[in-house]
Amino acid sequence: MVAKKSRTFTARDAARCIIVPSDLDHKYSRGVLGLITGSARYPGAAVLTTSAAQATGLGMARFHSSSGLAHLVLHQSPETVVQPGPVTAWLAGSGIERKRYSDFTTWLRHRWFQLMKLQTVPTVLDAGAIYLAGRLSQPTLITPHAGELAKLFAERSITVSSEMIEADPITWSVKASEEFDVTVLLKGSKTIVAQGDFVITLPKATSWLATAGSGDVLAGIIGALVATNYIEILNSPQRLAEVAASGAYIHNVAANLASGGAPISASMITAHIPSAIRKILS
């Protein structure tokens, strides 16, 4: 299996997926992201995904709460709406265990996943929700690392190790996209986005991104971009791949701005998202 189309992503490419609001826009027209993230075990993921989405720019973030997570999210981002309602995109799974019955609070988080089948808008599946790949009717993006992708393949009786995926990320990203009929953003030192045989290779990211919560920030950035690009995604499936790549590009630029060659935390990356977007658009 050989990828037929591949290109390296640039700042100009990323800028095309950043929707700058017009004078006619309002909070609903700019995009509404529904978040089902975080858990009692990993509450920080709820805060990081929501704050990153807000920093990226969108009309509204709707956080779907259980386990008392709303209080944490509202403390960090009081503009977040914690009531269910219409959304233009979903982000689900960050900070949630894959095994729904691992504990009661995780089961509660998985119950919210049913909403994604009721509002079939473009959807981002991360971490504990990646197993839903191929089970949703809407345009879907999954954001696994090599280990998560290997486990997903195992559910289809396809045997591959994380080391094999890391050795040939393009081939396995394309295979996952075709096998599960989704867009794939494979996280790693070299991030790959695949939608069928259309492949985007991201520039090598700073190694300082290897820190807890960094993936949650990435998910929040991408979720916001999907919410603001939902019309374009529904009209052109390839747009979802470009939006995913844009999110990864913004993530790396923000990390570099935060780092300056020094260690960083996930929260520091979030704080530099607006500056990263300003730099990309300039």
- Give me the residue spans of the domains in the chain: 5-281
Q: Which CATH superfamily is domain 5-281 in?
A: Ribokinase (3.40.1190.20)
Dump pLDDT digits (tens) for 224-278: 999 999 999 999 989 999 999 999 999 999 999 999 999 999 999 999 999 999 9
Dump pLDDT digits (tens) for 56-88: 999 999 999 866 899 999 999 999 999 899 999
Cβ atoms of residues 198 and 218 within 8 Å? no
- Distance separating the N- and C-terminal Cα atoms of the chain: 39
pTM: 0.96
Residues contacting 241, CB < 8 A, separation 6+: 183, 193, 194, 195, 198, 200
- What is the spatial distance between Cα 157 and Cα 159, in angstroms, rounded to a whole number? 6
DSSP string computed for the chain: ---SEEEE--HHHHHTTS----TT--TTTT-EEEEE---SS-THHHHHHHHHHHHH--SEEEE---TTHHHHHHHH-TT-B-S----SEEEE-TT--S-TTSSHHHHHHHHHTTHHHHS---EEE-GGGGGGTTS-SS-EEE---HHHHHHHHHTTT----HHHHHHSHHHHHHHHHHHHTSEEEE-SSS-EEEETTEEEEPPPPPGGG-STTHHHHHHHHHHHHHHHTHHHHHH-THHHHHHHHHHHHHHHHHHHHHHTTS---HHHHHHTHHHHHHHHH-
Residue 52 in this model has a pLDDT that exceeds 60 = yes
- What is the spatial distance between Cα 103 and Cα 231, in angstroms, rounded to a whole number? 38
Dump pLDDT digits (tens) for 142-196: 999 999 999 999 999 999 999 999 999 999 999 999 999 999 999 988 899 999 9
Backbone φ and ψ for 160, nearest 5 degrees, come out as -155, 140
